[in-house]
């Protein structure tokens, strides 16, 4: 039995029916998709391994925070013009190996996920809804983590550039997600090779593949539904929060992330070790909230970028330790997500909800083996 067949059998009945119905159409574009991916300098063809990937359950069991038409669902701040835009969450995959830096568009996202990939590097999934961005990139390939995180967003758009064939086939089969693959047409029309004297400049493939929010939202002509809120928000940190000045997440030598609280900026400033993490204009990346979600992981069943390069699959269904940095304080508790369709609930040990400050959020999806240090 092939690994892809095991993967399909691991899906629930509804997902298997959709995958089977989409199979003929997906196979018809595989040759075109693979050619486009290799042209982009992206992922290689899949190879087999001894690991089987099984999808978690999909039923919804946890109550969600209610959507307020005046507040952005992914930031808790007042929506532009006082009304939430009638459009879905848009998630864009952005590279984070050293050659990808500095990236564009991260500072305009409502939420940014940092996920482990392969080889000790991380990649970003930047999620937009209230905010838009005129330049996003470099856009890179899809990973298993992406759609397993995104199902809690309702009916989002996932924008990426190719990937190994089993993963692109799965994404193309998901009925609740719009597949904005930048390595096949017509969705590739929303992407382009960046060539400009303005920063970032002088980039070669695959680091010059860029996009923006406007053409990506335009791809999904039926997408008019905002996502449900991901978190609960409060203007003040709760009583159980404790002072914190910095946090270190040592993913690897290539991604040794440090967040430091700046009272003057009223934000958490992002560093790689002691080096400020900046956008192409030299402005340091920062966040109102930093959520450090500690998760179990496993190595995926396919090589991503060469022999023995299975990606790190982060298991974001279940429960585990969470740290929430906000307002110069830290809230330690538990994250809980029983199924793929559920939102991620954050609580203190006594069951009291953990709240975020209204504003943008970075979510550090950190394996249990990753050293995490919080400094008072």
The full DSSP string for 174-224 is: -TTSEEEETTSTTGGGGEEE---SSSS-S--TTTTEEE-HHHHHHH-TT--
Query: What string of pLDDT tens digits covers the 376 residues of the chain?
Result: 333 333 333 344 334 333 433 333 333 333 333 333 333 333 333 333 333 344 555 555 556 777 778 999 999 999 999 999 999 999 999 999 999 999 999 999 999 999 999 888 999 999 999 999 999 999 999 999 999 999 999 999 999 999 999 999 999 999 999 999 999 999 999 999 998 777 777 678 899 999 999 999 999 999 899 999 999 999 999 999 999 999 999 998 777 899 999 999 999 999 998 999 999 999 999 999 999 999 999 999 998 887 888 889 999 999 999 999 999 999 999 999 999 999 999 999 999 999 999 999 999 999 999 999 999 9
Q: What is the pTM of this model?
A: 0.84
Domain segments of the chain: what residues?
A: 3-61+77-219, 242-375
How does pLDDT run across 163-202, given as a tens digit for each residue?
999 999 999 999 999 999 999 999 999 999 998 777 777 6
Give how far the C-alpha of residue 370 lies from the chain's centroid of Cα atoms, to the nearest Å: 18
For the purposes of burial, counting CB atoms within 10 Å of the CB of 305, is it exposed (0-12), middle (13-18) or buried (19 or more)?
Answer: middle
| 3-state secondary structure at position 96 | coil
Mean pLDDT (the chain, rounded): 85
Q: Which residues make Cβ contacts (< 8 Å) with residue 81, sequence separation at least 6? A: none
For domain 242-375, which architecture applies?
3-Layer(bba) Sandwich (3.50)
Q: What angle do CA 127, 342, 211 make, to 5 degrees?
A: 15
């Amino acid at each position: 039995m092939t690994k892809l067949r095991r993967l399909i059998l691991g899906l629930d009945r509804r997902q298997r029916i959709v995958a089977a119905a989409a199979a003929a159409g997906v196979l018809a574009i595989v040759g075109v998709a693979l050619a486009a991916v290799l042209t982009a300098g992206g992922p290689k063809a899949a190879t087999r391994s001894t690991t089987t990937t099984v999808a978690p359950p999909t039923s919804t069991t946890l109550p969600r925070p209610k959507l307020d038409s005046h507040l952005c669902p992914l930031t808790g701040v007042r929506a532009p013009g006082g009304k939430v835009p009638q459009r879905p969450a848009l998630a864009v995959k952005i590279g984070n190996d050293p050659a990808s830096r500095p990236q564009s568009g991260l500072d305009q996202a409502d939420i940014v996920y940092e996920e482990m990939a392969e080889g000790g590097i991380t990649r970003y999934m930047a999620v937009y809804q209230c905010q838009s961005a005129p330049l996003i990139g470099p856009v890179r390939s899809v990973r298993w983590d992406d759609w397993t995180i995104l199902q809690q967003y309702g009916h989002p758009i996932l924008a990426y550039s190719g990937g190994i064939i089993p993963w692109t086939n799965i994404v193309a089969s998901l009925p609740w997600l719009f597949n904005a693959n930048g390595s096949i047409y017509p969705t590739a029309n929303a992407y382009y090779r960046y060539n400009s004297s303005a920063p970032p400049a002088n980039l070669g493939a695959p680091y010059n593949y860029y996009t923006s929010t406007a053409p990506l939202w335009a791809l999904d002509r039926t997408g008019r539904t905002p996502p449900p809120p991901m978190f609960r928000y409060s203007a003040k940190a709760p009583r159980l929060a404790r002072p914190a000045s910095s946090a270190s997440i040592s993913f690897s030598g290539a991604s040794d992330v440090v967040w430091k609280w700046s009272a003057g900026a009223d934000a958490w400033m992002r560093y790689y070790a002691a080096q400020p993490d900046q956008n192409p204009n030299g402005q340091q990346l920062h966040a109102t909230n930093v959520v450090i979600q500690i998760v179990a992981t496993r190595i995926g069943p396919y090589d991503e970028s060469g022999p023995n390069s299975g990606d790190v699959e982060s298991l974001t269904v279940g429960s585990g330790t969470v740290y929430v940095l906000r307002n110069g304080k830290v809230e330690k508790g538990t994250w809980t997500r029983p199924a793929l369709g559920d939102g991620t609930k954050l609580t203190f040990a006594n069951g009291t909800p953990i709240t975020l400050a209204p504003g943008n959020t970075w979510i550090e999806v950190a394996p249990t083996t990753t050293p995490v240090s919080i400094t008072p």
